[in-house]
Amino acid sequence: MSDERLASFVASERDRACPFDPSRDLLRLREEDRTPRLPVVHPVRGAIEAVVLTGYGDVRAAFAEERLVTGDGIDPALPRTLFNHPGFLPAYSGPEHLRLRRMLTGAFTVRRTEQLRPAIEQLVAGHLDAMAARGPVVDLVEALALPVPSLVICELLDVPYAARAMFQRCSQVIMDGSADAGQLVAASAELNAAMAEIVARNRATPGDGLLGELVREHGTELTDDELVGFGTTLLVGGHETTATMLALSALALLRNPEQAAVLRDDPAAAGPAVEELLRYLAVPAPLLRTAVADVEVRGHRIAAGEHVLLSPLTANRDPALVPERPDTLDLRRRPVAQLSFGFGVHQCLGQQLARLELRIALPALLRRFPTLRLAVPEAEIRFRQGSTVYGVEALPVSW
């Protein structure tokens, strides 16, 4: 295996034989316990050189190492994108990150999230009804996977749902690795401008949504820019990832009918089943860190200034985490401490919400359409290989 060959796909590509599995070269890195410095193409940074960590222990330890930071911080001299906008949580580190994150954690606890259950159940049921009426062939991404998380996050933030087409288009440009710098800046600017109007409205009269709550509780501690950044981060982070997970899970279940039956027939299975789908599919592309000091992660020396890529997918499939059949989807498996939501201080803020949406939507889909099947040959399904979240472009289904 030449490092040259690995370079072009290490950041996000999967195995050609099974669209859910890590690429073989990435797996080999884990098996050989190698941590080479490789030229990689990162969805946001473009061509960089990075140390690639693939094993469970290494990835988890690197997530926990606070001297490996997520971004360059908020540099006002750079053209503004979502990724360097004030309020974009992943760009912060240390006490400033904690200060900002604490203002949001209360809204995403298990208890607060659980209050959304009836609304999410209703939303899902409504979309399944609409799907039944539209059949016999629908694109599951368009009919269910994208609108449900979008509506939930719009509701939470009090963003008019009419703006969804705009924000979905912008967030796809932002998350999809193929956009150039100009497109990224333009899409971010459009999204920021729309969010600035919503923030201004909430500054004038705080509404019932999360932005209104932030103005009431932390209005004097936050700038308008920070509020805009909070809003866009949650809007983009809150729907694209969950939508992708929903559609990719549906495909994995269609390929494994006996696993689909577990989720369809046993109401108690939803919790562990969703954990296993999160583990097995691991939709986030390898996550980038930069060392702000010389550090050592379980024997791997990383010099100040070096980039590190952390692969949740290979970590989740590591026999060190899952000794038995780690590459098999087994919804009856006892949940393990998988890394699809990251780990450490930047661990996903919206993970309880994502779990709830998946636990409601997937069983409901399978129960409503027990004969659900792909409406096209599997070879025709297009995967988002270069994106920051892996998934399908569309999923035509029938029943």
Residue 380 Cβ vs ligand HEM, minimum distance, rounded to whole Å: 25
**Of these, 113, 188, 241, 387, which contacts ligand HEM (CB under 6 A)?**
241
Question: Of residues 98-137, which lie at the interface with ligand HEM (CB under 6 A)?
Answer: 101
342 Rama class: left (phi>0) / alpha (psi -120 to 50) / beta: left
Question: Of residues 265-284, which lie at the interface with ligand HEM (CB under 6 A)?
Answer: 283-284
Place of tokens 């026999």: 319
As a residue count, the chain comes to 399
**Of these, 70, 81, 188, 249, which contacts ligand HEM (CB under 6 A)?**
70
If one asks whether residue 388 binds ligand HEM (CB under 6 A), the answer comes out as no
Q: How many CB atoms lie within 10 A of CB 85?
A: 21
Question: Of residues 344-363, which lie at the interface with ligand HEM (CB under 6 A)?
Answer: 346, 348-350, 353-354
Q: Which residue is nearest to ligand HEM (CB)?
A: 350
Question: Of residues 82-101, which lie at the interface with ligand HEM (CB under 6 A)?
Answer: 89-90, 101
Which DSSP string do the residues of 154-220 spell out, in sequence order?
Answer: HHHHT--GGGHHHHHHHHHHHHSTT--HHHHHHHHHHHHHHHHHHHHHHHHS--SSHHHHHHHHHTT
Q: Which is nearer to ligand HEM, 235 or 397 (CB)?
A: 235
CA distances from 18 to 14, 79, 118, 143, 255 (A): 8, 39, 36, 25, 11
299 Rama class: left (phi>0) / alpha (psi -120 to 50) / beta: left
Residue 379 Cβ vs ligand HEM, minimum distance, rounded to whole Å: 26
If one asks whether residue 287 binds ligand HEM (CB under 6 A), the answer comes out as yes
Cα–Cα dist 203/241, whole Å: 29
Pairing of the two strands 287-291 and 307-310:
antiparallel
Q: Which stretch binds ligand HEM (CB under 6 A): 19-27, 36-44, 237-245, 313-321?
A: 237-245
Place of tokens 């969804």: 164
Contact 308, 68 (CB under 8 A): yes
Q: Which is nearer to ligand HEM, 5 or 99 (CB)?
A: 99
Q: Which is nearer to ligand HEM, 337 or 375 (CB)?
A: 337
Query: Is the peptide bond prior to 136 cis by the omega test (within 30 degrees of 0)?
Result: yes
- Residues that bind ligand HEM (rule: CB under 6 A) add up to a total of 24
Residue 386 Cβ vs ligand HEM, minimum distance, rounded to whole Å: 17
**Of these, 19, 87, 237, 363, which contacts ligand HEM (CB under 6 A)?**
237
Q: What is the dihedral of CA 384, 78, 165, 129, to 10 degrees?
A: 50
Residue 333 Cβ vs ligand HEM, minimum distance, rounded to whole Å: 18
Residue ranges binding ligand HEM (CB under 6 A): 70, 89-90, 101, 153, 233-234, 237-238, 241-242, 245, 283-284, 287, 340-342, 346, 348-350, 353-354
